[in-house]
A = this chain, B = another copy of it.
């Protein structure tokens, strides 16, 4: 189940850090490791889990594999969250207000 894959993938802080890094700009696995104190196999395994959850996607470029954020995973979370929008504070019921909050 896709929803399950997503929440499981995001349950690990290292994977959220990887995802956040990719959100700032796509890069390959080696570049991702820089400044992250994580072994090469561990990174590869995390990326595999993020990929299965459709949170990232890859594209082979010769010897390198470039990773980037996959919007599909995020869309699934947005939809999951939207099911409970009646509980959102009215302040952020307007997305424009929310995004303004974030940007500053």
Q: List A residues at the B interface (Cβ < 8 Å).
A: 1, 3-4, 7-8, 10-11, 13, 16, 20, 23, 69, 71, 74-75, 77-79, 81-89, 92-95, 98-99, 101-102
Contact A84 B23 (CB under 8 A): yes
Contact B74 A99 (CB under 8 A): no
CB-nearest residue of chain B to A3: B16
Q: Which residues of B contact A84 (CB under 8 A)?
A: 23, 69, 74
Number of copies: 2
Secondary structure at chain A's binding surface: helix, strand, loop or mixed? helix
Q: Which residues of B contact A8 (CB under 8 A)?
A: 11
Chain B nearest CB, measured from A91 CB (Å): 9
